[in-house]
Amino acid sequence: MNRDNKTRDINDLKLEVIPRQEHGISRKDISENALKVLYRLNKAGYEAYLVGGGVRDLLLNKQPKDFDIATNATPEDVRKLFRNCRLVGRRFRLAHILFGRDVIEVATFRGHHGGEKGAKFASQSNDGMLLRDNVYGTIDEDAERRDFTVNALYYNIDDFSVRDYAGGMEDLENGVIRLIGDPETRYREDPVRMLRAVRFAAKLDMRINEATAAPIPGLAHLLRDIPAARLFEESLKLLQSGDGLATYQMLRDYNLFAPLFPILEEHFTEDRNSKCEQMLELVLRSTDERVANDQRINPAFMYAAMLWYPLETRAEEIAFESGLSYYDAFMVAANDILDEQVKSIAIPRRFTAMIRDIWQLQLRLSRRSGNRAYKLLEQPKFRAAFDFLEMRGQVEGGQLKELAKWWDSFQKAERDARHNMVQVLNKASNNKKVRRRKSKPRRKKPQPKQES
Ligand code: ATP
Ligand code: MG
């Protein structure tokens, strides 16, 4: 039988228990806080397992991003055990145990949503999307509700064994992302699973098995029904977790990128080499590098870069159609583009404000005479704006590249050298003014309110 083409049929789930001495997970690799929660649940008589990415990544010798716990205690039971506990989520009720900034997520085993219990505690939209999923069940049922086989591995704190319900161990070894159950049903229940398939494949350098991959391009449009706030969270996991470039490329292969960024679609080309696409590659590559070096990353910078070329195009269109000055058209276009983007991905306000700053500073960076350059250096978003100018220079070359070089030298220069750099510009701009005056008698014109 060629199992590799198929997804894992629910009826084929068969528990395999791997004892402590036969797997590589050791307690010293699990965070102290996660262990505390596991032990306390266990002591109180509940079943308690580490599950999901925590187990998967440890088995792959990778550092897990977070530790998720599954238990037969209900969220209310969990709250009684932990003072530092908060219940969250409507669609999917969970307990969060808070240890300062570290949050350990505790989920109660999910059951089937059919039957009487299902009717009361689960709800589904007409097209099969799960709106609520709060039917509790056993660990066996919980395993069926997990998305991929490699995510249905449970580390048991009671005897330190790993419970493998869906052949996840074998798939981990072979590098296969395989969905549990009927793919179309599972994607319709929760279209975000398509994004997760790609995310894990890119991050873990695995391949998506045939039956899991096949329906994705045809169902990608379902992402348009996902709340924009959830897609914002998801977009960060996809693009800012250290494998953003690979993930982006794979998302495009599966038609999953356009529903997230509809505005970018018309800037895309067959060879993926338009200015917009070059910028995407640059910003994602630099984000990946920063993550690898433990440097800070800011979503506003990434979004500002991703949406820049659509913004420029829109600003030109508006300036042409309305006769507004380019500066005013640019500001109108900035609002337009952000309003459109937040419909699919709800970028929070604190970031959209920063995106606007980075954009607006691009216009100001070319005006450096007088004391403007000094003032710009003091802008809180100067550094981000300069980094972005450099990327634009890399994409476009020419004057932009020169401008970025000028700013680079200006920042590094001593006081006198800076003064000289500005003097050179002042002279040049005075010469221009004189020439202009000679060629055309100056007419009195009301001064438009704009930076110059
Ligand atoms: P990481 O934390 O590294 O992003 P993860 O696999 O732990 O990856 P989480 O979002 O933390 O992902 O979810 C924990 C586990 O919950 C998953 O491994 C999976 O078993 C289950 N899960 C999460 N989201 C879904 C979903 N949309 N459908 C089915 N199961 C899910
Ligand atoms: Mg996780």
For residue 199, what are the CA distances in angstroms to 52, 235, 236, 326?
A: 14, 10, 11, 40
For ligand 1, atom 7, the nearest C-alpha belongs to 53
Domains present along the chain, CATH in parentheses:
1-180 (3.30.460.10), 182-260 (1.10.110), 293-433 (1.10.3090.10)
Q: Is the CB of 190 under 6 A from ligand 1?
A: yes
Q: 156 is written with which tokens? A: 């048991």
d(CA 335, CA 300): 15
Q: Is the CB of 23 under 6 A from ligand 1?
A: no
Neighbour count for residue 295 (Cβ, 10 Å)? 10
Q: How far is the CA of 279 from the centre of ligand 1 (A)?
A: 31
pLDDT of residue 246: 98
pLDDT of residue 117: 52
Characterize the bridge pairing of strands 122-124 and 130-133. Answer: antiparallel
What residues have their beta carbon closer than 5 A to ion ligand 2? Answer: 52-53, 66, 68
For residue 110, what are the CA distances in angstroms to 113, 146, 264?
A: 9, 9, 38
Nearest atom within ligand 1 for CA of residue 190: 27
Reduce the DSSP state of residue 368 to 3 states and report it: coil
pLDDT of residue 448: 56
Neighbour count for residue 92 (Cβ, 10 Å)? 13
* Enclosing H/E stretch for 257: helix 257-260
Q: How far is the CA of 261 from the centre of ligand 2 (A)?
A: 25
Q: Is the CB of 340 under 6 A from ligand 1?
A: no
Give the ligand at the shortest distance from the Cα of 151.
1
Q: Is the CB of 368 under 6 A from ligand 1?
A: no
Query: Which residues on adjacent β-strands are paired with residue 16?
Result: 164
What's the pLDDT tens digit per position in 112-147? 876 555 556 667 777 777 767 778 999 999 999 999
Q: How far is the CA of 83 from the centre of ligand 1 (A)?
A: 25
Q: Which of 50, 67, 146 gets mutated to test ligand 1 (max ligand atoms within 8 A of its CB)?
A: 146
* Enclosing H/E stretch for 317: helix 308-322
Q: Which of 196, 237, 291 gets mutated to test ligand 1 (max ligand atoms within 8 A of its CB)?
A: 196
d(CA 318, CA 311): 10
Q: Is the CB of 66 under 6 A from ligand 1?
A: yes
d(CA 66, CA 230): 18
pLDDT of residue 452: 42
Nearest atom within ligand 1 for CA of residue 107: 16
Q: Is the CB of 89 under 6 A from ligand 1?
A: no
Angle (nearest 5°) at CA 295 between 291 and 299: 70
Q: Which of 177, 166, 174 has its CA nearest to residue 199?
A: 177
Q: Is the CB of 144 under 6 A from ligand 1?
A: no
Q: Is the CB of 385 under 6 A from ligand 1?
A: no
For residue 126, what are the CA distances in angstroms to 75, 110, 131, 139, 282?
A: 28, 22, 10, 28, 41
Residues catalogued as catalytic: 66, 68, 147
d(CA 237, CA 195): 10
Q: Is the CB of 113 under 6 A from ligand 1?
A: no
Q: In this structure, are residues 426 and 370 in contact, taking their beta carbons and an 8 Å threshold?
A: yes
For residue 71, what are the CA distances in angstroms to 22, 92, 105, 150, 435?
A: 23, 14, 11, 19, 79
Burial environment of residue 120 by CB neighbours within 10 A (0 to 12, 13 to 18, 19 or more): exposed
Q: 382 is written with which tokens? A: 């100067």
Q: How far is the CA of 168 from the centre of ligand 1 (A)?
A: 14
What's the pLDDT tens digit per position in 182-192? 999 999 999 99
For ligand 1, atom 14, the nearest C-alpha belongs to 52
Q: How far is the CA of 52 from the centre of ligand 1 (A)?
A: 6
Q: Is the CB of 193 under 6 A from ligand 1?
A: yes
For ligand 1, atom 15, the nearest C-alpha belongs to 52
Q: Which of 56, 68, 236 gets mutated to test ligand 1 (max ligand atoms within 8 A of its CB)?
A: 68
pLDDT of residue 437: 65
Q: How far is the CA of 158 from the centre of ligand 1 (A)?
A: 22
pLDDT beneath 50, residues of the chain: 1, 451-452
Neighbour count for residue 114 (Cβ, 10 Å)? 10
Dihedral (CA of 256, 262, 263, 266) sign: positive
DSSP characters over 127-183: TS-EEEE--B--HHHHHHHSSBGGG-EEEETTT--EEESSSHHHHHHHTEE-BBS-H
Q: In this structure, are residues 84 and 99 in contact, taking their beta carbons and an 8 Å threshold?
A: yes
For ligand 1, atom 3, the nearest C-alpha belongs to 53
DSSP 385: H
First to last CA, the chain: 72
Q: Is the CB of 52 under 6 A from ligand 1?
A: yes
Q: 74 is written with which tokens? A: 């209900």
